[in-house]
Structure 1
Amino acid sequence: MSDIAILANTAVAVLAIVVLIVRFRVNPVISLVLGSLYLGLVTRLGLDETVSTITGGFGDIMAEVGLLIAFGVLMGAILKEMGAIEQLVNHLLRLFGPKRLPYSMSLTIGTLLQSIYLDVLLVISAPLARTAARRIEPLGTPRMAAALAIGLECGIVLMVPGVGTLALAALLGVPLGTMLLWGFVLIVPTILVSVAIMTFLFRVGFWNPARDEAADAEPADVAGEPAAERVPQAVAAVAAEAGDPAGAGSGPAAPGPVRTAGGPATPDEVPAGAAGGPPLVVRFAPLIVALLMIASGAIAEAAGWENAMLGFVSDPVVALLTGLVGTVLVGRFAVGRQRVEAAIANGFRESGQILILTAVGGSLAAVVSAGGLGDILSDYFTADTFAPLLLVWVIAAVLHIAVGSVTISAITAAGILAPVAPSLGIDPVLIALAAGTGSLFAVHVTSNTFWLLQSLLGQTTRGTLKTCTVGVSIASVVGILLLMPLSLLF
């Protein structure tokens, strides 16, 4: 088959995936598999190898990140049940004060809390942000909304163990420790600069409370009932009606109603976040230790240290398993065995959706690679560091505008570019980060995050376009502008 035919059929496959998801609201998993089947059948794979390539790509990605995603989601579910997020936000408020809370909260969400499923994290943190917004007036609502959006979305694709980050690292063969270190180096200034830009824009008149804030918005708490336990089901319905099919928004799939796991507390159970439980640092200690274990491997590799024990300890599976075991033990002490087991069961339900979507992204990548697209694309790239990264960013950005999903666009862009990565002459971690930043561009009305932010923070659609769409797009541009000079260090 000619090069032009392969390019044309790849474009048709990607377009078909977009149309199935956006227009016909077909589940993203089914859409990606159908697109992979079409591409395999019409390119050089033919009938014999198409299915085996799809299943092989699925299995390869599961082998790379399956356990990592599961361990990360389970840790997040237990942290949620312990009330660790509420306690953390209150601590940030006391430590940094109301004026700096948008920066500290956005950084914390983008770096430390990515093990928690995105929609769950947003539903928990938004009422706390809304309460804090009243303390940093004027412009409290837009500042906190933009900070939440930027931190949530950047963390998905730039910070381990974000779902998109794990998938990008696996597809492009990037060691997870390397992805963690360089993702951290990029995400911190990206979040700080982006939040600062949005704060400046709001202060010079970009925000109009009369038109951008919902007049009939409910307060963060009504009659003592946390907003996090009242709104998720209604918001999910709104998001579905708005064109976010089965989670084609920022996360892999829209979860069901977010609820507090478990039944009534038994005598040995302490209410989440109650006084007398373990301090904040203890609740997060297992997760922090796991991330440090992973990072130690990348540091050892950069320093040229070779040690079998260090290699074992820094293995991501060992590190995250250690973090999970530690979180379970802390959780049992904080809220009791029954609630921890209920949180784990809920985490297994959430991780199933994430695992399948990530794996079928690997199927598409395998078909693209076997179909010969990588050989064709390599002719359009040079060894120049800047041009390839910009092209990677543009591909991911265009896919995100079309699909409306940060995760899907990042995975698809990485799948298309993975075959050509070895010929670029640049480190694959740069390609992964460029795809991640590009996939952030133009979060809009097909994103579940968009509608959750609108409802939970009392914004109009016009206001959410400013805080979410503009805010995260600025982060996308800032990210690639920071990445290009950063790439000169490689």
Structure 2
Amino acid sequence: MSDVPVLVNTAVAIVATVVLIVRFRVNPVISLVLGSLYLGLTTKLGLDKTVQTITKGFGDIMAEVGLLIAFGVLMGAILQEMGTIEQLVHRLIGLFGPKRLPYSLSLTIGTLLQSIYLDVLLVISAPLARSASRRIGPLGTPRMAVAMAIGLECGIVLVVPGVGALALAALLHVPLGTMLLWGLVLIIPTILISVALMTFLFRKGLWNVATDEAAQTHTAHIEAGDAGTSVEAASSEQRHSSVPHTSEHAAATTSTTNGPDANGADTPGATATATLDTPADGDRQNTDPSQSASEAPHLLLSFAPLLLALLMIATGAIADAADLHNRVLAFLADPVVALLVGLVGTVVVGRIRMGRKRVEDAIARGFKDSGQILILTAVGGSLAAVVAAGGLGDILRGYFGAESFAPLLLVWAIAAVLHIAVGSVTISAITAAGILAPLAPSLGIDPVLIALAAGTGSLFAVHVTSNTFWLLQSLMGQTTRGTLKTCTMGVSLASVVAIILLQPISLLFF
């Protein structure tokens, strides 16, 4: 088959998938399967091999990341039930103060909290962030909103066990330890620089309270200034409340139309509303100085299993880089073993702190959430397999090679265009990785760089087709215009900062 029909049919399949998702509101899983079928039937796969390739791609990616996603989501569900996010925000304020909270919270969300289902993480942390914004000053709302948006979206695709990061690593055959280490190297400066630049722009007049904040938010800031509002009580009351932090509680706080897709954040056409008048009881004061110190051991205990799992994975990557080979170390550093250790440890801690019943309830919710994520990730693998088997990689290798100008920028641009069209960070990253995976050898760059470049490109232009956009608008008390600045502009800036930072990082691989 000549090059032109393959290129045309691949373009038709991708455009048709986008149109089905965006225009006709077809579920992303169904859309991706239909696109895969069309592409297979119109390329050299034909009737004989199309379904076989789709199912093989589905199974291959599940073999790579299926257990990892399930273990990660289950850990996150138990951490959510224990109220660790509220404790963590309270602790961050105590350690860094409210002025540095945007940086510390964004870093924490983008790294440590990526095992928690994104919408749940947003619903729980946004009221606390909104209450904290009153202590920061008149720019508290935009600073906290942009910090949350950047941390949430960057973490999905750059840091293990973020769903997008796991999928990218699987499609491009990147060891998870390597993805974890280099993802951390990239995301930490990206978040710090992006939040600092957005803060600078807000101070130079980018933010207009009258048009960018909801009336209730502006009024609340004025009242907070008069009353000396403190955010610590919000964390304390939620932490000691008898109401468990369940998804039903989250649903009472926020409602969505065309609910979140399997990555929990990016279904096109999604909208959200939230209660804006009484955010997380943030107007009450906590004057007990011993409370922050007493909660620290509990917080460390809650996160210890997850931290141990990530440390085990990272140790394996460091050992590989140092050319150290040990069978016991390799076994313990295997991501499946490491995350299983983390999950078992989290279950034990959860039973000690909450009892067996609440842990079982959290696990049940985790299974429900992980099922959605697993199917979308696997179907993305099916499309990637069909794209590769259909001959696109061979064709692209004739046009792009190691001598291509700025190959990482090419990867970034492809993912960015897909995200603008689809509106889903995870789907665009997975699709871009599937298209580019056959091209990786000819580009002459390490697959982890391609994975990170695809992840950063998929962050560009998070806009009104994203559920995260509307949740941030409602929960942080912004207008649509304000959310375009904090979410769309903020995350797009992070995308650009990340690809710029990735260029000097890539030099370390040569």
- Counterpart of 1:315 (choices 319, 334, 356) is 334
Query: Contact between 1:158 and 1:183, CA under 8 Å: does it hold in 2?
Result: yes
Query: Contact between 1:233 and 1:257, CA under 8 Å: does it hold in 2?
Result: no
C-alpha distance 466-277 of structure 1, shift in aligned 2 (>3 A) = closer
Q: Residue in 1 aligned with 2:210?
A: 210
Q: Residue in 2 aligned with 1:433?
A: 452
Q: Does 1:371 align with 2:383?
A: no
Shift of 1:255: 13
Query: Contact between 1:65 and 1:166, CA under 8 Å: does it hold in 2?
Result: yes
Output one character per residue of 1:318-350: Cα deviation in whole Å (capped at 9) or x when no partner: 000000000000001111110000000000000
Q: Residue in 2 aligned with 1:138?
A: 138
Output one character per residue of 1:249-298: Cα deviation in whole Å (capped at 9) or x when no partner: 7358989999xxxxxxxxxxxxxx99789611111000000000000111
C-alpha distance 425-356 of structure 1, shift in aligned 2 (>3 A) = same
Output one character per residue of 1:209-259: Cα deviation in whole Å (capped at 9) or x when no partner: 1110111459798x999999766457443x53xxx774687358989999x
Equivalents in 1 of 2:5, 2:251: separation in Å? 46
Equivalents in 2 of 1:291, 1:474: separation in Å? 28
Query: Contact between 2:305 and 2:343, CA under 8 Å: does it hold in 1?
Result: yes
Query: Contact between 1:250 and 1:448, CA under 8 Å: does it hold in 2?
Result: yes
Equivalents in 1 of 2:348, 2:46: separation in Å? 52
Equivalents in 2 of 1:451, 1:94: separation in Å? 30
Letter in 2 for 1:113: L
Q: What are the within-5 Å matches in structure 2 for residues 33-48 of structure 1? A: 33-48=33-48
Q: Does 1:397 align with 2:430?
A: no
Q: Residue in 1 aligned with 2:94?
A: 94
Q: Residue in 1 aligned with 2:9?
A: 9
Q: Residue in 1 aligned with 2:28?
A: 28
Equivalents in 1 of 2:47, 2:252: separation in Å? 43
Letter in 1 for 2:15: L
Q: Residue in 2 aligned with 1:269?
A: none
Equivalents in 1 of 2:332, 2:423: separation in Å? 38
Query: Contact between 1:247 and 1:255, CA under 8 Å: does it hold in 2?
Result: no
Equivalents in 1 of 2:13, 2:440: separation in Å? 21
Q: Residue in 2 aligned with 1:261?
A: none
Query: Which 5+ residue runs of structure 1 have no aligned equivalent?
Result: 259-272
Q: Residue in 1 aligned with 2:265?
A: 250
C-alpha distance 397-276 of structure 1, shift in aligned 2 (>3 A) = closer
Letter in 2 for 1:343: A
Letter in 1 for 2:154: C
**RMSD of the TM alignment (CA)?**
2.5
Query: Contact between 2:77 and 2:116, CA under 8 Å: does it hold in 1?
Result: yes
Equivalents in 1 of 2:438, 2:255: separation in Å? 37
| Aligned partner of residue 442 in structure 1, secondary structure | coil
TM-score (norm 2): 0.88
Shift of 1:382: 2.4
Shift of 1:380: 2.1
Equivalents in 1 of 2:364, 2:141: separation in Å? 35
Shift of 1:485: 1.2
Q: Residue in 2 aligned with 1:155?
A: 155
Letter in 1 for 2:340: L
Output one character per residue of 1:25-70: Cα deviation in whole Å (capped at 9) or x when no partner: 0000000000000000000000000000000000000000000000
Q: Does 1:346 align with 2:361?
A: no
Shift of 1:94: 0.5
Query: Contact between 1:110 and 1:153, CA under 8 Å: does it hold in 2?
Result: yes
| Aligned partner of residue 134 in structure 1, secondary structure | helix
Q: Residue in 2 aligned with 1:60?
A: 60
Query: Which 5+ residue runs of structure 2 have no aligned equivalent?
Result: 221-230, 275-291
Q: Does 1:446 align with 2:437?
A: no
Q: Residue in 2 aligned with 1:280?
A: 299
Query: Contact between 1:252 and 1:407, CA under 8 Å: does it hold in 2?
Result: no
Output one character per residue of 1:88-143: Cα deviation in whole Å (capped at 9) or x when no partner: 11000000000000000000000100000111100010011001000101200000
- Number of equivalences: 471
TM-score (norm 1): 0.92
| Aligned partner of residue 463 in structure 2, secondary structure | coil
| Aligned partner of residue 306 in structure 1, secondary structure | coil
C-alpha distance 255-331 of structure 1, shift in aligned 2 (>3 A) = farther
Letter in 2 for 1:186: L
| Aligned partner of residue 100 in structure 1, secondary structure | helix
Q: What are the within-5 Å matches in structure 2 for residues 233-244 of structure 1? A: 235-237=254-256, 239-240=257-258
